[in-house]
Structure 1
Amino acid sequence: MNRGDHLKIKRALNNNAAIATNHNDVVVLVMGPGITFGKKAGETVDITKVEKTLFLNDKETMNKFTDLVIDVPMDQIEVAERIINFAKMKIGKKLDEIIYVNLTDHIHMAVKRARDGVLLSNPLKWDVARFYPDEFAVGTKAVEVINQSQQVNLADDEAAFIAIHFINAESEDSSQQNQAYEVTKIIKECEDIVKNFFNTEFDEQSLNYYRFITHLKFFAQRVLQGKHYDDEDDDDLLTTLEHRYAKPFSCSQKIQEYISDKYDFTITSSELLYLTVHISRLVKDL
């Protein structure tokens, strides 16, 4: 930020933060120790005291973040920003701005819980780690940064919760945000059906396993949204697969029954076809 910038207070949030307008009349959030102390709306901020300015494109997200800033200590806001910057490099996907709100809020609550001696366990933590390794790596780094900065002792469970916030923020469609936990559950359920059917473990480093899990991620999203592939007439092809890949086909049918019972979602012949192909690749060396 240039020293020539001119910041006028619109609303002081607390002694250390304000909503202000800059020289282009853009509304920004400014933070710094004591920047609004003794100042009223309409007065200018001492630029030398400003440590951080934030601008979010989405107005609603900006408002939510502003509400958070009132209660959240500045060092926690900074930690969240550091983690988000790390995630942008590590994950390399576009993240929805809502991550600023969700992660800052999550860190604030997690630190509070930790100081009160309440540690939440995450039953899916190792599944999140397996299915979303990059996001879990961000979660692990986040836990390290938070523990150091806030003098608390968060564990792997928290790394998985944080990973889920990032997975959700990768969704371009807002209706898919907040589905990461459910998606992980469905992937795990389908994977367990295949493991039990073939009574085997998988080589999780293999390309076929990676393809299978990637397919299940999108499949799970479709299940949760009640969306289907545009179904072609795949019946002839299915008959061929049924003979050629009898066991993978039966296994896919087990998944079909399970998903139908539990999620009230009908797997179409196209879905069945793709599942069968992926499963047959996965188990071809058994």
Structure 2
Amino acid sequence: MRVTKIINNNLVHSENEKGEDVIVFGCGIGFKTHIGDVVDKEKIDKIYVGSTSETKNKLELLVQRIPYEHISVCNEIIQYAKDTLGKTLDDNIYIGITDHVNFAIERFYTNTAVKNGLLWEIQEFYRQEYAIGLKALDIIEKRLGIRLPEDEAGFLALHVVNNETSPEMSNTITEAKMLFGIINIIKYEYKINMSQKNSSYGQFVSTLKFFLKGFLEKQPQNDAEEVYSFLAKKWPSEARCVEKIKKYCEVGFGLLLSGEDKAFLIFQVRRLSKSNY
């Protein structure tokens, strides 16, 4: 790999083996370097590919304005997330997490912490991602000597969830709120105390997450109002619960459930309500 563009002492452009333009980050990797020089592999901390030119531009601007130590810490956090989840996360996560961590550190030093209003929902419904967020706080403390509040673990978890499921953070936040609301409706309707230790509940939460992802991304759906009407007559108790969920979505989020959505939900509510707790 040879240097094709020098941004600063810690950032250069190069080309990978596929001929793609990449951003190469490392302490001193651009210091006393000239275009055409071979990139010093010993100094490489991270190679950002970037799925689009827009992503590359955002990454380049981001790493220019953020201290090297903060970027290095975030690279470690993201690598831990990848290893823990066992999946590839695209380079957009570097933008989201690095930007967030940098501002969180600034807030720490100015004593202007932000409360996370979704912390309970994140802890309950995104447990693996929240555990990654807590580990991130440990990494930051070990590397930088400061302990960020637990609310930040929740925010970082949302960035991971967002990269896993949705291109829009707003959809991820709405999904968490709706998940919490829908499950509470079912809890109160059937007066059951649900716990993720119960396999049926865990499966229901996973299924509901998948449903909400498609619902919020407005994927095309066939209407099935007749099917839902048939099921509602067969299972009136479950239908009452679904109608409450329908109203909750309309009033709380301005979202309309189709017949197919309601048919899907009534099956899920039926299955959950008949489980043993």
Shift of 1:142: 0.8
Q: Deviations over 1:25-75 (max 9, x none)?
A: 653333444443455x53636727624241314222122111111121222
Q: How many residue pairs align between the two structures?
A: 275
Segments of structure 2 that go 5 or more residues without pairing to the other structure are: none
The answer as to 2:254 corresponding to 1:270 is no
Cα 1:20–1:262 change in 2 (3 A) is same
For residue 205 of structure 1, what is the aligned residue in structure 2? 197
Q: 1:280 aligns with which of 250, 270, 275?
A: 270
1:218-229 paired onto structure 2 within 5 Å: 218-227=210-219, 229=221
Shift of 1:22: 6.8
1:113-132 paired onto structure 2 within 5 Å: 113-132=107-126
Secondary structure at 1:265 match in 2: coil
1:39-118 paired onto structure 2 within 5 Å: 42=35, 44=37, 47=40, 50-58=43-51, 59-118=53-112
Q: Which has the larger radius of gyration?
A: 1
Q: Deviations over 1:173-219 (max 9, x none)?
A: 63x55421111001111112112222332132222212322232233
For residue 216 of structure 1, what is the aligned residue in structure 2? 208
CA RMSD between the two structures: 2.7
1:109-188 paired onto structure 2 within 5 Å: 109-171=103-165, 174=167, 176=168, 178-188=170-180
Segments of structure 1 that go 5 or more residues without pairing to the other structure are: none
Alpha-carbon distance in structure 1 between the residues aligned to 2:17 and 2:253:
53
For residue 236 of structure 2, what is the aligned residue in structure 1? 246
Q: Deviations over 1:253-284 (max 9, x none)?
A: 11112212233333223322221222222222
Alpha-carbon distance in structure 1 between the residues aligned to 2:95 and 2:87:
18
For residue 10 of structure 1, what is the aligned residue in structure 2? 5
- TM-score normalised by structure 2 residue count: 0.86
Secondary structure at 1:18 match in 2: strand
Instruction: Give the counterpart letter for 1:161 in structure 2.
Output: F
- TM-score normalised by structure 1 residue count: 0.84
Cα 1:90–1:238 change in 2 (3 A) is farther
Alpha-carbon distance in structure 1 between the residues aligned to 2:16 and 2:262:
56
Cα 1:61–1:234 change in 2 (3 A) is same
Q: Deviations over 1:58-115 (max 9, x none)?
A: 2221221111111212222221111212111222233222011111111111111112
Cα 1:242–1:22 change in 2 (3 A) is closer
Identity of aligned residues (%): 27
Instruction: Give the counterpart letter for 1:56 in structure 2.
Output: V
